[in-house]
């Protein structure tokens, strides 16, 4: 069954809920990205494999989890209770059947789950990706599934907020079939380090803009 990489930075209030809702047989890899609130201890107590990645950054945590994974299929999702792990089989099923190479969860936000500034930024980014690639994806959300070996072959380099975008761009250049499927997006537990603040969103936009410029030169 799939490995599920869960980047976590001070998610003590959410990690247990996430782990208890993982489908049977799915193996959790919680990547502690420098927590000071006991996230690692709670994760371990709930059966997760805990990996420490002291270098801050969403991409750093994701890559550390990828290196620790061993399953044929690997999933990624946030560990803040904004995404329900029970949706993972919807993505994994498409990969198992060989119909898709990269399956992305397109977030359908409940009231108050997605700040306006972050929603607008994501909409513009998705539009730019569609224009450049011809893909039909409506979101570059953090819940996704793919074959582990194929992802390793992409040679992912970003270690910050650009990881989700870089994956889509590299996968497209490699000829992957990429699709998305609607999933619920819930109010997260605690404050987001990225979309919950204008500063965090601006930092993510900067990282992703750099990747788009680099992609335009390839």
Per-residue confidence (pLDDT) for residue 184, from 0 to 100? 96
User: Beta partners for 74?
Assistant: 3, 146
CB 23 within 8 A of CB 3: no
214's CB contacts (< 8 A; 6+ apart) are none
Q: How far is CA 61 from CA 54, 57, 179, in A?
A: 9, 6, 24
Report, at the CATH architecture level, how domain 3-217 is classified: Alpha-Beta Complex (3.90)
CA 84 to chain centre: 13
In whole angstroms, give the CA distance from residue 160 to residue 163: 6
Residues comprising the chain, all counted = 218
SS3 at position 96: helix
Q: Is 105 exposed, middle or buried (0-12, 13-18, 19+ CB in 10 A)?
A: buried
Q: Answer whether 0.85 is exceeded by the pTM.
A: yes
- For each of the chain's 218 residues, which pLDDT tens digit applies? 899 999 999 999 999 999 999 999 999 999 999 999 999 999 999 999 999 999 999 999 999 999 999 999 999 999 999 999 999 999 999 999 999 999 999 999 888 778 787 888 888 888 888 988 999 999 999 999 999 999 999 999 999 889 999 999 999 999 999 999 999 999 988 665 555 555 656 666 667 767 777 775 55
Helix (H, G, I), strand (E, B) or coil at 152: helix
Residue ranges covered by each domain of the chain:
3-217
Burial class (CB within 10 angstroms; exposed 0-12, middle 13-18, buried 19+) of 113: middle
């Amino acid at each position: 069954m799939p490995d599920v990489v869960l980047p976590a930075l001070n998610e003590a209030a959410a990690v247990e809920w996430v782990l208890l809702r993982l489908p049977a047989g799915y193996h959790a890899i919680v990547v502690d990205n420098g927590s000071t609130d006991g996230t690692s201890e709670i994760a371990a107590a709930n059966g997760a494999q805990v990996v420490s990645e002291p270098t801050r950054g969403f991409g750093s945590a994701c890559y550390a989890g990828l290196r620790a994974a061993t399953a044929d299929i690997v999933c990624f999702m946030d560990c803040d209770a904004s995404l329900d792990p029970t949706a993972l089989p919807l993505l994994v099923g498409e990969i198992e059947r060989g119909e898709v190479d990269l399956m992305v969860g397109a977030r359908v936000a409940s009231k108050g789950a997605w700040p306006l500034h972050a929603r607008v930024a994501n909409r513009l980014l998705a539009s730019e990706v569609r224009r450049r690639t011809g893909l039909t994806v409506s979101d570059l959300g953090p819940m996704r599934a793919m074959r582990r070996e194929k992802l390793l072959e992409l040679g992912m380099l970003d270690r910050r907020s650009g990881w989700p975008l870089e994956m889509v761009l590299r996968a497209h250049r490699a000829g992957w079939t990429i699709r998305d499927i609607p999933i619920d997006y819930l109010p997260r537990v605690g404050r987001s380090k990225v979309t919950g603040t204008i500063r965090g969103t601006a930092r993510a936009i900067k990282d992703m803009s750099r990747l788009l410029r680099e992609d335009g030169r390839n």
